[in-house]
């Protein structure tokens, strides 16, 4: 045990936190040494999550930098936005590695953060140090980094679906429309009427139309890949299911391409990347096909009538959209194989 | 009873058929005199639909034109596509009124039908006689008609969401993208793996991407309203719920408009129409808000960043998207108030 | 309009309240003149329930006895337990008719109320005046009554399933085991973790095992029918669905009976009662077969191996288990046909 | 690879088969060398199960004893009942180890099998060789066995809930009533109306009341533990969810016991068994707390009013109720730690 990397999880009583626990328990090189919650400190974590009975017997710690420094090498932050802004600098200054699952360090421009998150941004020097860990695209930045900003759920599905086209500049960036749908777990464990069972069961909702805070994160990544500014249309919907995100993405091609060219582009772009799976022509992934796993599955359809390309990209929002990608970043950070501890087969049916 | 209009329902053992029964039972001027099924003739309908026990005690009739002529004044066809092509002409020739819920007579151009439905089209003379009954838009054609082609579920939600803009020619018809989502009942009662419970529960799927047969129906109606040809992008998805359709529609405006102008347009266009409800700015309808009812609820968002308009339009696919609109057509046909027998409050929660 | 009975609904912003609205809107002899909420007074009800847009345009009233007296003839209380204890006496003293959907006046013995509800009971004189309105069994008490205590959801399904056997004294009352399951709407609109979507979706839970407050209500009614004291075992479970209750009831017969005898008993006991439907031998009702309607459907199976009888009784908890039965009580109270405004066909699928 | 145990799976295209694949892929000492299907032989398994894309690239084999003998050491049968009766003897005669997940070899008495399964039973000599693999109870029989009959899903949950009491003879076996509820995946992938999405969603159903074929399996095991014949009442229900079984079990104690005595009995009986978790007093497990994992969680409530004990026992029907327990049996058979490859944390939420 003593040779394992010691991990602490701040925000252990949220859904992101317990999903990190599920994955870290299966990781051969890591041990969880502290589960941390500001709200439930002192109680056994299994009190609030009985599925962890006899699996995680630890009591929850409070947030205490010295305590964390004594117990852990790496800290995962699975906290609501706003918390990491103050906490991450302290953890970094204490010499800890930090993987932040919140949105606080994803946007390089503090003003943009403030505009979309309605919260003062992090200090610029720390923003600069945060490596945006979308592993398949920017994974080269991760090895040796001390501080990772883990991508958002919608951005992960969407950016992976757009990346080959953006990087090759095949698409008109002004034409990008992202119609995204998410299971309810993305809203977290906090109670609210919109995710009260009797309200959202047998219901399908749009929310935050044209004002979701993941919009600039997608634009930043696409812009970086394409080398030009991107302004997209982005709509989010809630699906009456627990897990899963689908981004249905519409783009206009700058010049006519055959469907074969497009498939070739995607296949070669993601060659050798274990967690991106391109479906065959005429096949489209359902969210259940990645349930519980770290895969991002992508289907493509070029409409000969309109010349427009439709991209279907799915992930499990709790895994590739949160905890799984965080572990993938840890693997890259530490120089381990990126699939270590992540080779879960999707749970089907 | 003798003064009531006598109605027969062909396809009574499908979901469209039983929903017609639910509505006709509540209609003050109509009585159901024959429930007809080609497959289960002779059995009590409640054998296959126990919720009708003690409510509908009739046995199913087979398809027999003479029998129908003796029993009914109006015939509803809730049959799979292909059936009405042969059956409707016979019923019409027998002097019966016909309301066809299938797709067989919706497309005026037989070649387009054949291309999308993969089935030979109806005879042109009968196609010409079919009145396309999207009541709020083309309801003026219905009074006195003998033969109504009831619109499809996706087209109803989508066309109502686009109509004011198309009729006013405010939008670039080439820019229209429709991202549609439907509950599972739209697939009918016929067994198939995709709607097997364990496959579609906790799943969200795209299907028939760029090749759904409702595409030309939407284009035909939008083109008729705008007076120019429309070619749209149309994607359909399955939601793990039983009822409800949402069309999320993206359009580029031909010239800059304020959000207020757009709301004013929609409100004035649908003024006095009981079944279309425009939500206030910043509010978007969920499908559950129309569950079991004949409403079409519409929300609007103009994105100042992109100048693009997003339209959210929801219906209950079984009601405004099928049986409810068929009754509404009957009401118009007969000169009754269009809401007769249709004032069901949505079932919530 | 002026000749209609004027109804006020206290607790209009709860699920019981909006279900009352749905039914009263369809009632030919009643008009809703006041929707009342202590928490949201002043706001249009459609703000919180957008499905009521353009249907109910009233603003919510606060609780004010004089105002209610001016506006209404009958008051429905769809309030959490504890509220009616104080409010009903005031409304009664003001000369209003009261139909109380809460549990406050169901138990004739105040001590039993206090023991199970953990709340001080109502004053004895008002308890005595409350008529327990399980219409099919005790409906004879209702005509002309001023004050109805509307039965609970679990008790309605359970007591109707047991009544013929209890009344005939065919069963050993000590042997009665009730395994009950409910959709989530029974928990109301108040937020709580157990009915947070991501917690209860894809989950099946037992709760309040051996301590549900509906236990003594069932025992009181069965005891009254049988003329002897009943002590039952009662377990409640949550089903991941919105509406519906099933009580699966196990009883030992005092002496051997044939299955035919038992079916005959049930059929004759409920002869002429529109809302109780006995299934044929070998058929068992699902909750969906009564969805949205006022039916109670019952299936029966006598096990020749054990001599034990299994009774399956289903209702829609929001209708026959709450608002629907309240209307049925109003009908009986006023001398109207008990089915007036209640002939909704179940919504299927 | 060459030192791993080679496993073949017959019935790989059923839900039991793909769940075996998920678990065997995670097993350190086993490799899957043949996925077998009588119906889809020749096709890649990922064609029917896209979640396996890039994970299992093998094509399906047909059923061919010689081929299996060449490729495998152990064969899992995840086949509909009736198939194993003929197939298992051939595989055993070929010297293979066999773990049969079907019901064909669970009942020692062929006549009882015929009566409940309506199918001729297996040959007595092979019935005798089949070891009933309910690991926590009869696991001592498994090491070194060649042929395991893996328990049914309902029996696993039920027998584990009753075993301590039966073994100690604390309960009146005639009083046992089992009210069981299952997610829909238990019905398999074969299409049928009852598990058509629009039929079972928002529905709760009882089925096979007093005639489910798992009844004698439970009676056989309880009888064996208690040393006397057991005749139970057993009812099965379908829950609108994919995975999970709950057995709510009611028993009369032969003599009065305190709740503490009962908890002590359960805790000591299952001491050291990793996969059985006894909840604390007043806590009851939900099915979601074992989702995707091999746990059986048990809650207990003694009703002081009736003296009756209620036992709540939950499993994931696909795991402890099928594939997981099959792997657990393999582990015991091979002398490996019984938890090898099975330490999956439940997927929550």
| Residue D119: predicted pLDDT | 97
Q: What is the pLDDT of residues C140-159, one digit of tens each?
A: 999 999 999 999 999 999 99
Q: How far is A133 from chain D (nearest CA, A)?
A: 24
Residue C2 has pLDDT above 60, yes or no: no
Q: How far is C255 from chain B (nearest CA, A)?
A: 32
| Residue A41: predicted pLDDT | 86
Q: What sign results for the dihedral spanned by CA atoms C251, C254, C258, C260?
A: negative
**Is C193 at the interface with chain D, CB within 8 A?**
no
CA D329/CA D150 separation, integer angstroms: 8
Burial of B118 (0-12, 13-18, 19+ CB in 10 A): exposed
| Residue B1: predicted pLDDT | 44
DSSP D141: G
CA A335/CA A142 separation, integer angstroms: 9
Q: Tell me if D314 sits within 8 A of D290, measured CB to CB.
A: yes
List, as one string, the DSSP characters of D241-307. Answer: SSS-EEEEEEEEBSS---HHHHHHHHHHHTTT-TTEEEPPTT----GGGGTTS--EEEEEEE-TTT-
For a pLDDT cut of 90, what percent of chain D falls above it? 98
Residues in chain D: 349
D187 contact residues in B (CB cutoff 8 A) = 198
For a pLDDT cut of 70, what percent of chain D falls above it? 99
The token pair at A131 is: 């490596």
Ramachandran assignment for C188, one of left (phi > 0), alpha (psi -120 to 50 degrees), beta (any other): left
Q: Who among B235, B237, B240 is closest to A240 (CB)?
A: B240
Q: How far is D103 from chain C (nearest CA, A)?
A: 22
D153 is catalytic: yes
A240 contact residues in B (CB cutoff 8 A) = 239-241
The token pair at D136 is: 């926590």
Rounded to a whole number, what is the distance in angstroms from the first to the last CA of chain A? Answer: 35
**Is A53 at the interface with chain D, CB within 8 A?**
yes
Q: Do C283 and B21 touch (CB under 8 A)?
A: no
Cα Rg of chain A, angstroms = 20
Residue D1: pLDDT band by 50, 70, 90 thresholds? Answer: very low
Q: Do B191 and D192 touch (CB under 8 A)?
A: yes
Q: What is the pLDDT along chain A (349 residues), one digit of tens a residue?
A: 458 999 999 999 999 999 999 999 999 999 999 999 988 889 999 999 999 999 999 899 999 999 999 999 999 999 999 999 999 999 999 999 999 999 999 999 999 999 999 999 999 999 999 999 999 999 999 999 999 999 999 999 999 999 999 999 999 999 999 999 999 999 999 999 999 999 999 999 999 999 999 999 999 999 999 999 999 999 999 999 999 999 999 999 999 999 999 999 999 999 999 999 999 999 999 999 999 999 999 999 999 999 999 999 999 999 999 999 999 999 999 999 999 999 999 999 9
DSSP D344: P
CA D53/CA D62 separation, integer angstroms: 20
CA D4/CA C118 separation, integer angstroms: 62
The token pair at B50 is: 């126990």
Residue C39: pLDDT band by 50, 70, 90 thresholds? Answer: confident
CA B199/CA A288 separation, integer angstroms: 8
The predicted model gives D89-115 an average pLDDT of: 98
Q: Do D197 and B197 touch (CB under 8 A)?
A: yes
| Residue D41: predicted pLDDT | 86
The predicted model gives B152-156 an average pLDDT of: 98
Q: Do A288 and B235 touch (CB under 8 A)?
A: no
Higher-scoring residue by pLDDT: B39, B71: B71
CA D325/CA D106 separation, integer angstroms: 14
**Is D240 at the interface with chain B, CB within 8 A?**
yes
Chain A residue with minimal CA distance to D275? A54
Q: Which of B157, B196, B286 to mutate to test the interface with A (most CBs of A within 10 A)?
A: B286
Phi, psi of C314 (to 5 degrees): -125, 145
**Positions of C marked catalytic:** 153
Upstream peptide bond of C349 is cis (omega within 30 degrees of 0): yes
DSSP B28: T
Q: What is the pLDDT of residues D119-131, one digit of tens each?
A: 999 999 999 999 9
Burial of C314 (0-12, 13-18, 19+ CB in 10 A): buried
Please report which residue ranges of C141-239 form alpha helices under DSSP H: 153-167, 197-200, 215-226
Q: Which of B79, B126, B80, B87 is nearest to B107 (CA)?
A: B126
What does each C-alpha distance from B149 to B84, D128, D183 come to in angstroms? 10, 66, 41
Q: Tell me if B19 sits within 8 A of B322, measured CB to CB.
A: yes
CA C227/CA B329 separation, integer angstroms: 57
Please report which residue ranges of A41-95 form alpha helices under DSSP H: 45-48, 65-71, 83-93
CA A248/CA B180 separation, integer angstroms: 11
Residue D14 has pLDDT above 60, yes or no: yes
The token pair at B208 is: 């028939």
| Residue A39: predicted pLDDT | 85
| Residue D36: predicted pLDDT | 97
Beta bridge partners of B9: B35, B76
**All structural domains of chain D:** 5-129 (3.40.50.720), 154-317 (3.30.360.10)
Contacts of A341-344 with CB under 8 Å at 24 or more apart are A341/A23, A341/A24, A341/A26, A341/A27, A341/A28, A341/A29, A341/A30, A342/A23, A342/A275, A342/A294, A343/D25, A343/D26, A344/A26, A344/A292, A344/A293, A344/A294, A344/A319, A344/D26
Beta bridge partners of A238: A182, A205
Q: Residue for token digits 């009591």?
A: A59
**Is A76 at the interface with chain D, CB within 8 A?**
no
| Residue D341: predicted pLDDT | 97
Region of poorest pLDDT, from A34-48, C121-135, D101-115, D313-327? A34-48
The catalytic position among B30, B60, B135, B153 is B153
The token pair at B249 is: 């529609």
Q: Which of C310, C248, C316, C249 is nearest to C281 (CA)?
A: C310
Please report which residue ranges of chain C form alpha helices under DSSP H: 15-25, 45-48, 65-71, 83-93, 110-117, 124-129, 135-138, 153-167, 197-200, 215-226, 259-269, 324-334
B201 contact residues in D (CB cutoff 8 A) = 184, 197, 201, 240-242
Residue C1: pLDDT band by 50, 70, 90 thresholds? Answer: very low
Residues in chain B: 349
CA C153/CA D317 separation, integer angstroms: 30
The predicted model gives B100-111 an average pLDDT of: 98
List, as one string, the DSSP characters of D299-319. Answer: EEEE-TTT-EEEEEEEE-TTI
DSSP C270: T
Residue B39 has pLDDT above 90, yes or no: no
Residue B15 has pLDDT above 60, yes or no: yes
Q: Which of A19, A23, A8, A9 is nearest to A185 (CA)?
A: A19
Please report which residue ranges of chain D form alpha helices under DSSP H: 15-25, 45-48, 65-71, 83-93, 110-117, 124-129, 135-138, 153-167, 197-200, 215-226, 259-269, 324-334
Q: Residue for token digits 């991990």?
A: A7
The predicted model gives D275-303 an average pLDDT of: 98
Ramachandran assignment for C252, one of left (phi > 0), alpha (psi -120 to 50 degrees), beta (any other): beta
Describe the crossing of helices A153-167 and A259-269 by its angle, rounded to 10 degrees. Answer: 120
The token pair at A41 is: 């400190």
Region of poorest pLDDT, from A255-264, B32-41, C20-29, D206-215? B32-41
Chain A residue with minimal CA distance to B347? A202
Upstream peptide bond of D127 is cis (omega within 30 degrees of 0): no
Q: Are strands C276-278 and A276-278 parallel, antiparallel or unpaired?
A: unpaired
Phi, psi of B260 (to 5 degrees): -60, -45
User: How would you list the strands of the sheet with D308-315, edge to edge?
Assistant: D205-207, D233-238, D177-182, D245-252, D308-315, D296-302, D276-278
CA D332/CA D339 separation, integer angstroms: 9
**Is D28 at the interface with chain A, CB within 8 A?**
no
Q: Tell me if B170 sits within 8 A of B225, measured CB to CB.
A: no
Q: What sign results for the dihedral spanned by CA atoms C124, C130, C134, C136?
A: positive
Q: Do C50 and B279 touch (CB under 8 A)?
A: yes
CA C29/CA C264 separation, integer angstroms: 36
Mean pLDDT computed over every residue of chain B: 97
Q: Who among C209, C291, C305 is closest to D284 (CB)?
A: C209
Element (H, E) at A316: none
Residue D2 has pLDDT above 60, yes or no: no
Q: Tell me if C100 sits within 8 A of C130, measured CB to CB.
A: yes
Q: Do A239 and B204 touch (CB under 8 A)?
A: yes
Q: What is the pLDDT of residues A168-183, one digit of tens each?
A: 999 999 999 999 999 9
**Is B115 at the interface with chain A, CB within 8 A?**
no
DSSP A190: S
Residue C40 has pLDDT above 90, yes or no: no
A51 contact residues in C (CB cutoff 8 A) = none
Residue B2: pLDDT band by 50, 70, 90 thresholds? Answer: low
Q: Which of B21, B32, B53, B324 to mutate to test the interface with C (most CBs of C within 10 A)?
A: B53
A199 contact residues in B (CB cutoff 8 A) = 288, 349
The predicted model gives B200-208 an average pLDDT of: 98
Mean pLDDT computed over every residue of chain C: 97
Beta bridge partners of B205: B238
**Alpha-carbon dihedral angle through residues D102, D105, D109, D112, given to the nearest 10 degrees:** 10
Q: Tell me if C230 sits within 8 A of C223, measured CB to CB.
A: yes
Q: What is the pLDDT of residues C256-311, one digit of tens each?
A: 999 999 999 999 999 999 999 999 999 999 999 999 999 999 999 999 999 999 99
| Residue C261: predicted pLDDT | 98
Q: What is the pLDDT of residues D255-272, one digit of tens each?
A: 999 999 999 999 999 999
Distance of alpha carbon B143 from its chain centroid, rounded? Answer: 18
Q: Who's near D223: CB < 8 A, 6+ residues apart?
A: D173, D229, D230
């Amino acid at each position: 045990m003593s040779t394992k990397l010691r991990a602490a999880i701040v925000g252990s009583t949220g859904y992101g936190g317990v999903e990190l626990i599920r994955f870290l328990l299966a990781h051969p090189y890591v041990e969880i040494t502290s589960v941390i919650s500001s709200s439930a400190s002192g109680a056994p974590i299994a009190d609030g999550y009985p599925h962890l009975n006899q699996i995680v017997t630890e009591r929850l710690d409070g947030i205490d930098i010295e305590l964390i420094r004594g117990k852990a090498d790496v800290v995962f932050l699975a906290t609501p936005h706003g918390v990491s802004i103050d906490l991450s600098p302290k953890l970094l200054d204490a010499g800890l590695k930090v993987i932040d699952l919140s949105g606080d360090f994803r946007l390089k421009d503090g003003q943009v953060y403030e505009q979309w998150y309605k919260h003062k941004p992090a200090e610029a020097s720390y923003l600069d140090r945060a490596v945006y860990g979308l592993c398949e695209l920017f994974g080269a930045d991760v090895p040796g980094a001390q501080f990772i900003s883990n991508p958002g759920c919608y951005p992960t599905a969407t950016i992976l679906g757009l990346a080959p086209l953006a990087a090759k500049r095949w698409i008109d960036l002004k034409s990008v429309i992202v119609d995204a749908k998410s299971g309810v777990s993305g809203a977290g464990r906090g109670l609210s009427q919109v995710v009260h069972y009797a309200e959202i069961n047998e219901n399908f909702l749009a929310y935050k139309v044209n004002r979701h805070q993941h919009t600039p994160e997608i634009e930043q990544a696409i812009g970086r890949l394409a080398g030009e500014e991107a302004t997209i249309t982005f709509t989010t919907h809630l699906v009456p299911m627990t897990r899963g995100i689908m981004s249905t993405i519409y783009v206009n091609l700058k010049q006519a391409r055959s469907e074969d060219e497009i498939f070739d582009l995607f296949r070669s772009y993601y060659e050798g990347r274990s967690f991106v799976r391109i479906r065959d022509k005429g096949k489209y992934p359902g969210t259940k096909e990645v349930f519980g796993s770290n895969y991002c599955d992508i289907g493509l359809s070029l409409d000969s009538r309109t010349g427009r390309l439709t991209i279907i990209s799915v992930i499990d929002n709790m895994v590739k959209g949160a905890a799984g990608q965080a572990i993938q970043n840890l693997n890259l950070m530490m120089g381990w194989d990126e699939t270590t501890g992540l080779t879960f087969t999707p749970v089907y049916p």
